[in-house]
């Protein structure tokens, strides 16, 4: 090989080496940039023996904007977690006070025994501790009553009930009145039922002295005003969000970090209310059993909606059990383990063909949480 050709070969070889080094440097810079902004480094403060809790405390003692970023899948329009307002500083409007009385008024049921508050009890985060609620004449409903305690935090949502069948809060307020398993009255009877128990003067105080009859619109406006006033009480979780990480012990803090990162919870549970307000399929149709429920599919008839149910708020989670639309989960450790295993489903032979198609939401994947990590997530959830 002559010297000129040898020189050309050397230049070519070095140019390849330099290009490789250049790409490696660019990759390293990209990784360091992502880590600097906390974009996906969810192993931060983790080592072979476990987690460096002093390191995690240092990270979460920073302003929220500088916290390690949560693990969020592409296309998810999420919001950062935020504290709820202090309920002690708020007072009900006259319309909301009227709505509160109506919410607990049993005269609006067929047997005079059931009110909205019978199935949405304040001491249970406006949910029901029974698997399914019991309405007029002892009739059982089909689903567990959803918590309402977060409604004041989600005034712009457009899907209500587990299956999203109501498109406004006004519609949600009226549907239980006519449901035969809940209150079982006609909307036309609202006027005489309420006038019979002395509500006309109360409606005049709110809507004006010209009111001669109580209308459906006035009724729903008052109850909606009350529901939109509902917010959960602040907890140690809100204290952390307000800047005091000492409100969490080490296990709760680790669970909080995992909730945001490895456990992937913030793909659906974010913002003040800790809910995206959307419908998802979690393999919880119980297809083929006596408790089968196909969710939004029963409303729309669209196979894409099979098994979809609305994401519940996690606020006051400990008070709102049992969980899920079927109310069959009472053990939070079991719930976390189900998510850890990506919601496995064993269908009996009696399950319909549609149930055998893979409808499970793509957000649900195996998590690989250890027993210590699962217990930490539970400890955090109990602070909500």
Backbone torsion region of residue 275, taken as left when φ is above 0, otherwise alpha when ψ lies between -120 and 50, otherwise beta: beta
Strands (E) in 234-285, as ranges, are 279-281
Class in CATH terms, 92-227: mainly alpha
Q: What is the mean pLDDT of residues 287-306?
A: 95
pLDDT, residue 90, reads 66
The pTM for the full model equals 0.86
Band of pLDDT at residue 5, cut at 50, 70 and 90: very low
Higher pLDDT, 181 or 41: 181
Rounded Cα gap, residues 149 and 66, in angstroms: 30
Element holding 174 (H helix, E strand): helix 169-178
Class in CATH terms, 46-85+235-381: mainly alpha
Helix (H, G, I), strand (E, B), or coil: what is residue 18? helix
Band of pLDDT at residue 41, cut at 50, 70 and 90: low
* Length of the chain measured in residues: 384
pLDDT, residue 49, reads 84
Say if residue 26's pLDDT is above 90: no
In percent, how much of the chain has pLDDT > 90?
Answer: 80
Are 46-85+235-381 and 92-227 the same fold in CATH?
yes
Band of pLDDT at residue 42, cut at 50, 70 and 90: low
Q: What is the mean pLDDT of residues 7-18?
A: 49
How many Cα atoms are found within 13 Å in the side-chain-facing hemisphere of 312? 23
- Where are the domains positioned within the chain? 46-85+235-381, 92-227
Strands (E) in the chain, as ranges, are 46-47, 50-51, 279-281, 308-310
Say if residue 31's pLDDT is above 70: no
Looking at every residue in the chain, the average pLDDT score rounds to: 90
């Amino acid at each position: 090989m002559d010297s000129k050709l040898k020189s050309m070969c050397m230049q070519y070889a070095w140019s390849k080496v330099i290009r490789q080094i250049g790409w490696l440097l660019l990759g390293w810079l990209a990784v360091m940039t992502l880590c600097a902004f906390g974009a996906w480094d969810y192993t931060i403060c983790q080592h072979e023996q476990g987690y460096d809790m002093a390191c995690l405390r240092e990270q979460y003692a920073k302003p929220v904007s500088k916290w390690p970023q949560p693990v969020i899948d592409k296309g998810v329009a999420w919001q950062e977690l935020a504290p709820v307002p202090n309920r002690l500083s708020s007072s009900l409007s006259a319309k909301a006070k009227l709505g509160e009385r109506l919410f607990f008024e049993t005269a609006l049921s067929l047997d005079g025994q059931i009110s909205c508050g019978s199935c949405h009890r304040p001491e249970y985060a406006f949910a029901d501790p029974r698997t399914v609620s019991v309405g007029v004449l002892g009739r059982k409903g089909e689903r567990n009553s959803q918590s309402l305690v977060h409604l004041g935090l989600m005034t712009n949502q457009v899907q209500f009930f587990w299956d999203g069948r109501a498109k406004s809060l006004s519609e949600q307020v009226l549907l239980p009145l006519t449901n035969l398993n809940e209150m079982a009255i006609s909307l036309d009877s609202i006027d005489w039922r309420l006038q019979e128990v002395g509500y006309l003067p109360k409606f005049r105080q709110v809507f004006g002295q010209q009111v001669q009859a109580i209308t459906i619109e006035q009724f729903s406006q008052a109850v909606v005003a009350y529901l939109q006033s509902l917010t959960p009480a602040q907890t140690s979780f809100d204290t952390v969000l307000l800047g005091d990480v000492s409100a969490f012990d080490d296990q709760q803090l680790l669970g909080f970090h995992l909730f945001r990162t490895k456990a992937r919870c913030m793909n659906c549970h974010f913002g003040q209310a800790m809910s995206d307000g959307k419908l998802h399929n979690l393999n919880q149709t119980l297809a083929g059993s006596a408790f089968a429920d196909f969710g939004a599919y029963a409303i729309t008839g669209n196979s894409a909606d099979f098994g979809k149910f609305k994401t519940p708020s996690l606020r006051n989670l400990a008070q709102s059990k049992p969980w899920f639309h079927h109310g069959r989960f009472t053990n939070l450790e079991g719930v976390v383990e189900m998510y850890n295993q990506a919601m496995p489903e064993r269908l009996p032979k009696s399950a319909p063909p549609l149930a055998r198609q893979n409808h499970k939401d793509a957000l649900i994947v195996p998590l690989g949480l250890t027993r210590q990590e699962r217990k930490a997530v539970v400890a955090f959830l109990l602070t909500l």
